[in-house]
Amino acid sequence: MARRERTRPVPADAPWIVWTVVLPLLAAPVAFVLGRRGLAPFAAASSLGVAASVAALAWQVAAQGVQRHRLGGWGAPLGIELHADGLSVLMLVMTAVTGVVVSLHAHGTFGLGGHETREPSGRARFWPLWLFLWGGLNAVFLSADLFNLFVSLELVTLSAVALVALAATRVAVAAALQYLLAAMLGSLLYLLGVALVYATEGTLSLDELARGAPHASVAPPALALLTIGLALKTALFPLHFWLPPAHANAPTPVSALLSGLVVKASFYVLWRLWFQAFPGVAPFEASMLLAVLGTGAIVWGSVQALQATRLKSLVAYSTVAQLGYLFLVFPLVGGPGGLAAWQACAVFAVSHAFAKAAFFMAAGNIRLAAGHDRIADLDGIGARLPRSFFAVGLASVALMGLPPSGTFVAKWMMMRAALESGQAWLMVVMLLGGLFSAGYCFRVLARAFTPPTDTPLQPVPGSLDAAALALAVIALATGLFVAPALDLLAIGAPDVAGLGQDGPR
């Protein structure tokens, strides 16, 4: 793979890499102190400020190459070093775009824009938790060592669990507790892997681990512990048990954030470990196991979505299924089409984030209007909520992998890589997954063509419709901007083409 790493120090007067993390973490306690008074404009300003810092960092990386910053001047192995390359910036942009739109939706959902809804009244508690979560996500994407990744993931987990519990219902609190216990078990396994790495390698820096020659007897067990812990946090089948209840019973903006962003953070760390810190350490059989589990996720999650009785449950099980595609990439990286597969994984993650967040917001709008989200009782609601159902339709196009969405381009690239590497079975899995996606998406879309009923509907604030529709349009349009995304991914990318099927060449 052509490696493009033009490293230059961040200018002292423009440390955007630092502000991207620090700004949401500083805004969160201020939002907590404000309570409801004056929170709406502050939350809006904070969201736009974080998004602006991400845009500035993206411009910096595109113009100057990889950016590094040593907090306090202390670098590895003692200090905290932030690292921004094309992949991390793409994840930051994904988070910023989704975060700004979901924040707009949250203003209406939690009544801060002057509208009362039937959502549980998270009110002011949502904003500090969401800003902490946003700061944690940005820290995950920019951290350059295993321990700071652990700390960042814990901030993400604790914020996400508290956000699920905002619904304040018995089922939501139970789901949040189950999520917490599963995440803590994943953290324990991850931390055991970190301890094993540090005891043998003497460093936790991803770059130093990549440059060194890991102990052959220790690196595979350590990577196995790290992988299992992160797979549990990502809800990879069959470790997904916590995801459907948490995503289905959280307030709508929280469901959108969890499904679109939070599960991507732990997968991103796993991605970094396999292809940057420990390239070629895992045997090919291990990558095949991840692909088999990803296949199981696609099949099982789709079957459950086809049988779901509630709309938000359908979307939650769809998340389990869609995450499976990300794990199909592992046996492809290192083969003849490894570069395309690696790039496709990033494009798929971004497009899926937009589509799934849009779908959840539209589902929340439908539940708000109807007073429930029972699929069997939504006859004719499409004609009465055209914008929300149009958002469902556009998001469904992306989830099914149809053009011009980014998921279509990503699946096309992955299928070509599967054929080039002689693993045509993965192409069959992706095609069947697309048919499954069409099946459960059309379960919802069919309600737009049934005769309307006389059941009265609650009014849906225009900002809620606008947020869901805007993000659905972005998800569909992602495929039109794949070329710039691939150029960005080339900055500081690991040499995945240098990995063979049985380890480094």
Chain segment 474-488, per-residue pLDDT in tens: 999 999 999 999 999
pLDDT of 77 higher than 80: no
Residue 154's closest CA among 262, 77, 69? 262
Say which residue, 350 or 32, is predicted with more confidence: 350
Confidence tier at 114 by pLDDT (50, 70, 90): very low
The one-character DSSP state at 451 is P
Confidence tier at 112 by pLDDT (50, 70, 90): very low
pLDDT of 87 higher than 80: yes
Which tokens sit at 462?
A: 């225009």
Residues with Cβ within 8 Å of residue 370, at least 6 apart in sequence: 377, 378, 381, 455, 457, 458
From CA 297, how far away is CA 301, in angstroms rounded?
Answer: 6
Which tokens sit at 124?
A: 């002011």
pLDDT at position 499 is 55
φ/ψ bin of 351: left (φ > 0), alpha (ψ from -120 to 50), beta (otherwise): alpha
pTM value? 0.91
Assess contact for 327 and 290: CB atoms under 8 A. Answer: yes
pLDDT of 113 higher than 60: no
Three-class DSSP category at 385: coil
Residues with Cβ within 8 Å of residue 334, at least 6 apart in sequence: 280, 496, 497, 499, 500, 501
pLDDT of 119 higher than 60: no
pLDDT of 199 higher than 80: yes
Average pLDDT score over the chain? 86
